[in-house]
Structure 1
């Protein structure tokens, strides 16, 4: 949105932020631009001890800034309330279908960045005819449901995983799988999702049955440290491994989705992965797995993503400023206070101190 659009909506646009109580942003604020003793909301990308942002968190503490990270705005059960997940799912799935069209010379979808908004993106999808493919979508959060929105818009029929794994179809179908479908206990006992979240060390991947049946894999899951990889480079070499196209919206490089060997870009969103040589090749190569692994997908739908993000913030966060934080939203989200990490985020102290 332009400055004029803010002014037209009745906002004063200024470069002087000295009298602001709360500064609201999205991306990381450059260290030199941080104003001491302010309260900031933005994605700091520090809660997983990301080494590239250690100096940012150090500066926040030095300047006695109260940081509330959008990632830490959560319900009591830990579920995130704010994020761009839906838009990543929407755009990533569209991009995946675009890649299939280009790889197989079936149709040509325009890049999302050239389209006005989500409605126009869906209008483009209405013009294509999908091949008869089987699609697996992993995940249970906002990303997966953004992806599901596109699949449902296209009229792809959802089937149970039992049917998916045992049947042939004469139309495109998809199945939605969560952690207890693509992981199993290594001792053969029945798995428990919440036990898995706490400690995944006694689990192994159960993704291969899906890989045997799937043409197009959409990775919309959250991958936690220590969890089994969905498929490894060795898995991808196996004769029965059938996946030809991957839209890795989660985009964990050299991780749970072996074909994601680097993030791709909005400018150049598709590459090929040769499972035999374990290297990047032209995505049109015969033996290539076609990979879409853009790591900033919501940027392709900036207007919709901004409005959606704003709606979530208005619904979940703004009331907390006026109701004495009745639901603990601000308390749970606050990472730093008066130059120190809050108790909830004290696990980051060694990271701040450069010890890990």
Structure 2
């Protein structure tokens, strides 16, 4: 078997503190014969010295472009704009297969360099279930922020914390009014995380999943104070919220957290906003009267970087140890090749080829 060389890159997004591999699991990889190079990163929640102690090599930030050709570049969020041509195999969340903004441009970069995207969202088992995901913590943070906003206790800018500290401010306090919360996608990872957070906040949520959304009861949805959307749609479905719903005079709904953040995609089930929010300005007011606030942060788990990284790393490491065996990684590659072909066809049609 060809030796695997993983290169853990620095995340260029300033609010990204997570890592796909924590130092303890990096030690598992190096102990199994995998070469691991880790870029120094001032924001990663684990210092590079812990990786070095686990047997990893250390490199300068954003030096992966000069790595040997057979190196596998590992990260989480978007790549920097340069180099344009991507020559390596890259593992990260590409958000490139559902017509998201910038998707075609990213795929063109891989075409230009002959590289490959192994998208972590499509690292799935034989039944299509994701093998490594941040969903639980995304749902947990999304519901927690929604409750804090609704209760007037959300402060900006947001800063990373630990679960114990978050739960302290999340617990109900004297004077907190009862609130009705709805979780859509309640049976998935994100939905489960949202339910756990709501219960920590003293709220027993209404839980909807496929059965309840096939024939959506819109008045019932609008009769809740807080909505947490944890649905990851794979095929187009009727939207859960429409512009005219926001102007419904009987709307009780005041706070929406879109954990999924499929903004710009034809699969978006909340097409009532056109850009995500962020740590600096986590809340966007969609309506003044009656008030309706939106939270749509696309890297929620980074607010609990240690907990979310440890869970993700524990799931991803066994897959990396089996990197050369095909299976899930082979499915990732096939999904990438399909996307490349589809993009080429669409661009050819637009040119009239």
State the TM-score, normalized to the length of structure 1.
0.73
8 Å CA contact 1:248, 1:293 repeated in 2: yes
Rounded Cα–Cα distance in structure 1 between residues aligned with 2:142 and 2:72: 33
Verify: 1:221 aligned to 2:231, yes or no.
Answer: yes
Is 1:93–1:247's contact at 8 Å kept on the other side of the alignment?
A: yes
Structure 1 residue 46 corresponds to structure 2 residue 96: yes
2: CA distance, partners of 1:85 / 1:353: 36
Residue among 187, 200, 211 paired with 1:180: 211
When Rg is computed on C-alpha atoms for both structures, the one with the higher figure is 1
1:305 aligned to 2:308?
A: yes
Measure, in 1, the Cα distance between the counterparts of 2:157 and 2:169.
10
Q: In structure 2, what is the Cα distance between the partners aligned to 1:127 and 1:208?
A: 28
The answer on 1:21 being equivalent to 2:20 is no
Once residues 229 and 36 of structure 1 are traced to their aligned partners in structure 2, the CA distance between those partners, rounded to angstroms, is 36
Q: Which residue of 1 aligns with 2:54?
A: 9
Q: 1:267 aligns with which of 273, 277, 280?
A: 280
Q: Note the aligned Cα RMSD (angstroms).
A: 2.9
SS at match of 1:13: strand
Deviation at 1:64, TM superposition (A): 2.1
The offset of 1:92, in angstroms, is 1.2
Residue 156 (structure 1) shift: 2.5
Distance 2:150 2:310 in 1: 30
Distance 1:209-1:36 versus aligned 2 partners, 3 A rule: closer
Structure 1: runs of 5 or more not aligned: 103-107, 158-173, 185-205, 275-280
Residue 348 of structure 1: how far off its partner (Å): 3.7
Measured in 2, the distance between the counterparts of 1:112 and 1:126 equals 21
Report deviation, 1:127: 5.9
Equivalents in 2 of 1:112, 1:141: separation in Å? 29
Question: In the alignment, which of 152, 161, 184 is matched to residue 199 of structure 2?
Answer: 152
What is the aligned partner in structure 1 of residue 170 from structure 2? 125
Whether contact under 8 Å (2:181, 2:203) holds in the other structure is no
Unpaired segments of 5 or more residues in structure 2?
A: 1-45, 61-65
Residue of structure 1 in register with 2:322 after alignment: 320
Match of 1:98 among 110, 129, 148: 148
Indicate the residue corresponding to 1:62 in structure 2: 112
Q: How many pairs are equivalent?
A: 296
Matches within 5 A, 1:71-82: 71-82=121-132
